[in-house]
Amino acid sequence: MPMKYPVHPGIIIKHDCMDALKLNVTNAAKILGVSRTALSRVINGKASISPEMAIRVSKAFGSTPEHWLRMQLAYDVSQMRNKVNTINIERYHPSSV
């Protein structure tokens, strides 16, 4: 069974919020009170959803800021799992005194 990886929350914003409401980036950015560039970076997966952006999205389109931030966290952890072998850290064991 193939593993399913979390999707960047920006893709959800694009599909479920913007496309569903027939909003382009410019109009959605105005609704959210952010620059077109900032929103474009999020919906293209180039930038993470910040707590402030999560609040803006939740106020404009629904859900909660925590929902958007949990999606971002799940995506970030998934991305790091792909790089886990490049992080050379050994578990710390305090010495007995």
Domain ranges, ordered by start, for the chain: 1-66
User: pTM (2 decimals)?
Assistant: 0.84
**CATH architecture for the domain at 1-66:** Orthogonal Bundle (1.10)
Helices (H), the chain: 9-12, 25-32, 36-43, 51-61, 65-81
The pLDDT tens digits of the residues spanning 14-46 come to 999 999 999 999 999 999 999 999 999 999 999
Q: What is the dihedral of CA 5, 77, 29, 22, to 10 degrees?
A: 10
Rounded to a whole number of angstroms, the CA Rg of the chain reads 17
Residue 96, CA distances (Å) to 2, 73, 89, 90, 91 in order: 45, 36, 21, 18, 16
The pLDDT tens digits of the residues spanning 40-79 come to 999 999 999 999 999 999 999 999 999 999 999 999 999 9
